C-alpha cells in the first residue's frame, strides 16, 4: 500500500494466538479480504471502505450487492455496507455546513487507507476446553479486525473545500465466527466544533421480500420519507408491499436487537452501540428499475436495508473529542 501523510493511526489491537486468520490484498491493492480458519470471510473495497461480501462457513453470502454497481471507484458502491458520513441523504437546506456535499457525504466515495489487521480469541480458551482441545476452542472463538483510516489531509482538494474541517476516521470491520461488527471512531482535530451524521447502510441478502419482516420496531416513532417525512408510529412488525423508506427511533434503545425475519424465522439480529436510529429501505419495483446501478431490476425482491445510524439530528463534536459507534450483526 502507498503510505500517505496525515493518515489516522490504527486502533490498539490484541495479539492473536494460532490458528491465524488469513488476510490478503488484491485487485490492484483496492480490496482487502479476511478468511477465518473456520471458513467465514469478509471482503472490503478501499473505495469507501465498503464491505462488499460477508460469507458464512459454508460460503453462503449474507449481503446483497448489485450486479450493475461500479467497482472501479467512479461511483458509490450499491450494496454491501457503504459508510455514510458526515450527512445522511441530501443535505437539509437549513444546514449550510453540509449544503455542498453530495448525498450521503464523502466517506463512501473516498479512498481509504488499510491500517492493518489484528486477531483475538475468547478468554474461554484459557478457562475451559469444554471437552475440546484448546486449539479447537481457539478456532471456534477466533476473530479478525481490519482497520481503515481516512483523514482530512487525505481528502481530494475539492472535497476538502466543501467540508473544511480537520478530522480523523478509524473504521473497523471485525469478522467473527458468528458475527460481523462494524465500528467507527470520529475525532475532531480542528480548533472549532463540527456536527455530523453517520450510518452503516447495510444491504442484507434475503430470499423473498414478500416473506420478510423487520421485528423490534413496534411502537417506534418514524419518519416516512415516501410521504414527505410524515411522522408516524409503527404497530407490529414492518412488512413490505411497496417502496419503503423510513427513519425509526426504536423504543428499546440501541442494545435492543432489531431483527430480520423470513417466513416467521429470524435471519439476523442487529445490535447498535451509541446509534439511536434505524433506517429501513426497499426501493420496490418502479424505483429499482429507474436506478442504473441497481441490478437486476427485480433485485429488490432479494434485499432489504436495515441501517444503524444517528441521522434524525446532528452529533456535535468539540475540538479534541471523539465519537464512537458500532453495529453488530448476528446471523440466527
For the chain, what percentages of helix, strand and coil (3-state, to nearest 5) are there? Answer: 15, 45, 45
Strand-pairing partners, residue 282, are: 244
Q: Is 78 annotated as a binding residue?
A: yes
Active site residue 307: yes
Active site residue 201: yes
Cβ atoms 317, 185 nearer than 8 A: no
Task: From 276, 283, 273, select the one nearest 312 (Cα to Cα).
Answer: 276
Candidates 201, 256, 262, 324; catalytic one: 201
Tell me the three cell numbers of residue 77.
Answer: 458502491
Tell me the three cell numbers of residue 162.
Answer: 466543501
Q: Is 103 annotated as a binding residue?
A: yes
Q: Is 267 annotated as a binding residue?
A: no
Region for residue 116 given its phi and psi (left: phi exceeds 0; alpha: psi -120 to 50; beta: otherwise): left
Task: From 206, 182, 320, select the one nearest 262 (Cα to Cα).
Answer: 206
Candidates 113, 121, 213, 307; catalytic one: 307
Cβ neighbours around 285 below 10 Å, total: 13
Phi, psi (rounded to 5 degrees) for 204: -90, 140
Residues assigned a catalytic role: 201, 307
- Residue numbers in the known binding site are 78, 103, 108
Binding positions for substrate:
78, 103, 108
Amino acid at each position: 500500500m502507498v503510505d500517505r501523510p496525515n493518515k489516522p493511526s490504527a486502533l490498539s489491537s490484541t495479539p492473536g494466538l494460532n490458528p491465524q486468520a488469513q488476510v490478503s490484498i488484491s485487485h490492484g491493492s483496492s480490496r482487502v479480504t479476511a478468511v477465518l480458519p473456520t471458513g467465514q470471510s469478509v471482503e472490503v473495497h478501499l473505495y469507501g471502505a465498503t464491505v462488499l461480501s460477508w460469507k458464512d462457513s459454508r460460503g453462503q453470502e449474507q449481503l446483497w450487492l448489485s450486479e450493475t454497481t461500479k467497482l472501479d471507484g467512479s461511483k458509490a458502491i450499491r450494496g454491501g455496507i457503504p459508510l455514510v458520513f458526515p450527512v445522511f441523504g441530501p443535505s437539509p437546506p437549513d444546514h449550510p455546513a453540509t449544503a455542498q456535499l453530495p448525498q450521503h457525504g464523502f466517506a463512501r466515495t473516498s479512498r481509504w487507507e488499510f491500517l492493518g489487521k489484528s486477531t483475538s480469541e475468547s478468554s474461554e480458551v484459557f478457562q475451559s476446553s469444554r471437552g475440546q482441545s484448546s486449539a479447537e476452542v481457539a478456532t471456534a472463538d477466533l476473530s479478525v479486525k481490519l482497520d481503515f483510516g481516512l483523514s482530512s489531509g487525505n481528502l481530494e482538494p475539492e472535497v476538502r473545500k466543501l467540508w473544511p474541517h480537520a478530522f480523523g476516521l478509524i473504521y473497523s470491520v471485525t469478522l467473527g465466527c458468528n458475527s460481523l461488527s462494524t465500528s467507527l471512531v470520529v475525532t475532531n482535530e480542528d480548533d472549532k466544533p463540527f456536527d455530523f451524521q453517520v450510518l452503516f447502510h447495510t444491504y442484507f441478502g434475503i430470499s423473498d421480500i414478500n416473506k420478510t419482516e423487520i421485528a423490534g420496531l413496534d411502537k417506534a416513532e418514524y419518519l416516512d420519507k415516501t410521504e414527505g417525512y410524515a411522522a408516524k408510529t409503527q404497530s407490529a412488525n414492518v412488512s413490505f408491499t411497496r417502496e419503503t423508506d423510513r427513519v425509526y427511533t426504536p423504543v428499546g434503545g440501541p442494545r435492543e436487537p432489531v431483527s430480520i425475519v423470513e417466513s416467521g424465522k429470524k435471519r439476523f439480529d442487529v445490535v447498535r452501540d451509541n446509534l439511536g436510529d434505524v433506517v429501513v429501505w426497499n426501493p420496490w419495483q418502479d424505483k429499482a428499475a429507474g436506478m442504473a446501478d441497481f441490478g437486476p431490476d427485480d433485485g429488490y425482491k432479494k434485499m432489504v436495508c436495515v441501517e444503524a445510524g444517528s441521522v434524525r439530528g446532528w452529533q456535535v463534536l468539540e475540538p479534541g473529542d471523539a465519537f464512537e459507534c458500532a453495529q453488530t450483526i448476528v446471523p440466527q
